[in-house]
Structures are given as structure tokens and as C-alpha cells.
Chains A and B, each alone.
Chain A
Amino acid sequence: MKSPVNRSSLAVLSLAPLLGASQTLLHAATMTALSVVAIVVHRALMTPLRRQLDASCAMIASVLLAAAVVTCQTLTLHAWALELRQALGIYPELIAVSCLLVEQSLGSPGQWRRLALLLAGYGALFLLLGACRELLASGSLQLANLAPGALLLLGLLLALTKRACPKQAAPTVKETADR
């Protein structure tokens, strides 16, 4: 299903957690795990609904489900990992946007293989960025601790990935959005 919703603006929104919550490897791993769980649960719940609903109703359902899934997930994090919750700030909530983005870009039900590839690419990028930032910041490069440093680093990582395997670079947020 092609949607008129501007996908690149959604892609920019899912960039926010990537830059804002990847200060250490632990933060990045937590965010990856939260994203994967939320997106998979959201997708699994949406798959049967999509067959029943028309486009506009499916869109509303998708937003509702994303909000509910992410609310419950964030509460869980708050209760069992308070320090991580405080360190990650608003970003666990923003995963709801990633859920919508994935739902939008994958469209028709099923496509679990593509979803797995997408999540693997996203997670790998997240973990790599987290590891690089932690490493550089511990090496007293303070820029790596800040969001602008993360953006530069992300650009560098993507450029290197493209360079290393020009044909089959990991599906990035932007590419996914443009599909």
C-alpha cells in the first residue's frame, strides 16, 4: 500500500533515537532490544488487523497499537531498570514512531523476511554507533558524547559501509523510508 504520508519526515524522526540514545554500548543495546520487541509485536498485531480494515482505519489502528505497546514497554523499563530509563530520556517513547515508520514502509502484511533484514540493519547500525561513541568518548574525544558528534560519526559509518559493499549496504533508515 502506497501512502501519501511523507516518509522522509518519518525517517528523520527515527534518526532521533539513533543519535540521541547511543551514548554507550549499553544504551544502544537497550534501545535496539526495545525497538525490535516493539516493532515485532506491533507488526504481529497489525498483520491480522490489516486484512480487516481499510487504509484510514488501519492507520488509526496502527497509531493506537504503537502507543499502547510503547507505553507498556516504557513502564516496564521504568519499573525494572530505572537508571536506564532515566539515562535514555524520551527516546524509548519515540520508538512508537519507528513502529509507524516500519508499518508504513513495509505496507502489505507478511514480509517477515524483509522486516528481519531491516531490523538487523537498524540494530547493527545502532550497536556500531554506540560502541564507537563509547570508545571515542573514553579516549577523551568529548565530541563523540554529543549529538552532533553522533551525526558525524553516523555519516562516517554509513559512508564506510557503502564503500565496503557498494551493492548490498545494510538497509538504512533513509533507504527504508524511500522504498
Chain B
Amino acid sequence: MNVRGPLVVGLLTLISAGASIAWQHYCAPLIAAAEEDQQARAWLAVLPEASYDNQPLQQPIALPDPDLAHSRIQAGYLASLHGRSSAVLLLSRFPGYAGPVDLLIAIDRDGRVIASRVLQQQETLGLGARIAEPGNTWLQGFNGHGQGNTPDSAWALKRDNGQFDQLAGASVTSRAVIHAIQDALRYFDQHAPQWLNEGTAP
């Protein structure tokens, strides 16, 4: 009679562990698919819905020499509409104030920023971390700017004699973001002919 309790508990351990593992096994692919789907939605949020009809994340572009002056291009994808390439997505990683920041930048055919969005950051809460808030107005301030309409010297904070405001209390983060966007635009201008023609081929 004394062994019965521990026996039941042992059996219960096996059953509950087995059930958990089996259910985890069943759920794993579903979880992976859901996470992938969520990541894709986060990425594509920088593109207006009417501006592409392909699956941009299925169309990576060649990234020669991805190490830039202030940042590194981690990934790049091509969006197209009616078979004509419409935008390029570049994922830029650069050191922020407290750690690496992943910034996704969408650039249109003419080399202007469509929108940008921070995917990952460890900046100071309430200061630099505000770049990651959805619809952050400071980050939206770069939309529409490109190498063509904004001279080289203007790509800096106003306090550094540039054209852009800084995010309050986060000048290091602000400078890093400006440099990374400028890097990405330069990189785009260098390689755009190759990327954009690829998109029109078949």
C-alpha cells in the first residue's frame, strides 16, 4: 500500500511529460509558421500595400560588399508591381547607444526612402528606444529623402549643421540612424541599376 502513491506519481510524471512533449512536437511547425508569418508582416509593413504584387521576401537581391562606413547591410529584397521592380528593402544593422540596431529601410526606384522601421534595438527606454515605436514621427521624417533631393552635408543633426532634428535625449542613436540611412541610400545608388533590371527580366 505504501508504494502505491509513489508509483502513481511516477506514472503521472511520465504521462504529463509525454503529453507535453507530444503536444510540443505537434505545435512546433505551427509555431514556426506563425512566427515566420508575423516576421513577414513586420517587414512588409514598410511598403504601402498597393506598391507591390510579388512576394518580396521570396526575392532576395545580391549584396556585394555589405560592410558600409557606419553600418552593415544584412539582407535585401526586391518588391515589384506588374513585373516592374518598385522598391528595394534593405536591412541595415548598426551600433546604437546600447547595442546593435536593426533598421529596415524601404527605398523606391528613384532612391528615396519610402519608410523605415526598427526591427530590433536595445536603446534606452523612453529615449532612444522610442525609434522602435510604431509610427514614430522622428523616423518618418526621413521619408521622401534621397541622395538626389538632400545634399550630402545635410545628412546630419541640426546641431552638427545638418538638416534633421534629433530625437530628444538620444543624440547618439539619432546620429547612428541618420548615418545608417545615408549609408543605405548610397549603397542603393551604387547597385540600383543591377537590382532594378533584374526585376524587369522575366
CB-CB contacts below 8 Å: A37-75 with B: 49, 52-54, 56-57, 60-61, 64-65, 67-68, 71-72, 75
Given A68-B19, A82-B34 in contact, is the A76-B12 Cβ separation under 8 Å?
A: no
Given A64-B16, A65-B16 in contact, is the A79-B8 Cβ separation under 8 Å?
A: no
B24 close to A75 (CB less than 8 A): yes
B127 touches A (CB below 8 Å): no
B126 touches A (CB below 8 Å): no
Of A49, A52, A76, A78, the most chain B CB neighbours within 10 A belong to A78
B125 touches A (CB below 8 Å): no
B38 touches A (CB below 8 Å): yes
Chain B residues closer than 8 Å to A68, beta-carbon distance: 15-17, 19-20
Chain A residues closer than 8 Å to B16, beta-carbon distance: 64-65, 67-68
Task: Name A57's contact: one of B5, B27, B35, B38 (CB within 8 Å).
Answer: B5
Q: How far is it, in angstroms, between the C-alpha of A52 and the C-alpha of B8 when the chains are bound? A: 9
Given A79-B31, A82-B35 in contact, is the A64-B4 Cβ separation under 8 Å?
A: no
B5 close to A72 (CB less than 8 A): no
What is the chain A residue whose CB lies nearest that of B20? A71
Given A78-B31, A80-B30 in contact, is the A72-B19 Cβ separation under 8 Å?
A: yes
Q: How far is it, in angstroms, between the C-alpha of A64 and the C-alpha of B19 when the chains are bound? A: 12
What is the chain A residue whose CB lies nearest that of B25? A75
Number of A-B contacts (CB under 8 A): 57
A15 smallest CB distance to B (angstroms): 25
Given A57-B5, A82-B38, A83-B38 in contact, is the A65-B12 Cβ separation under 8 Å?
A: yes
Q: How far is it, in angstroms, between the C-alpha of A107 and the C-alpha of B29 when the chains are bound? A: 40
Query: How big is chain B's contact interface, by range?
Result: 20 to 34
With an 8 Å Cβ cutoff, the count of chain A residues facing the other chain is 21
B45 smallest CB distance to A (angstroms): 14
Q: How far is it, in angstroms, between the C-alpha of A72 and the C-alpha of B15 when the chains are bound? A: 13
A64 close to B12 (CB less than 8 A): yes
Q: How far is it, in angstroms, between the C-alpha of A65 and the C-alpha of B19 when the chains are bound? A: 11
B64 touches A (CB below 8 Å): no
B8 close to A61 (CB less than 8 A): yes
20 A–B contact pairs at CB < 8 A? Answer: A49-B12, A53-B5, A53-B8, A54-B5, A57-B6, A57-B8, A57-B9, A60-B9, A61-B8, A65-B16, A67-B20, A68-B15, A71-B23, A75-B23, A75-B24, A75-B27, A76-B27, A78-B31, A79-B31, A82-B35
Residues of A within 8 A of B (CB): 49, 52-54, 56-57, 60-61, 64-65, 67-68, 71-72, 75-76, 78-80, 82-83
Contacts A52-B5, A64-B13, A65-B16 known; 16 new A-B pairs at CB < 8 A: A49-B12, A56-B5, A57-B8, A57-B9, A64-B9, A64-B12, A64-B16, A67-B16, A68-B20, A71-B23, A71-B24, A72-B23, A76-B23, A78-B27, A80-B30, A82-B35
Residues of B within 8 A of A (CB): 4-6, 8-9, 12-13, 15-17, 19-20, 23-24, 27, 30-31, 34-35, 38
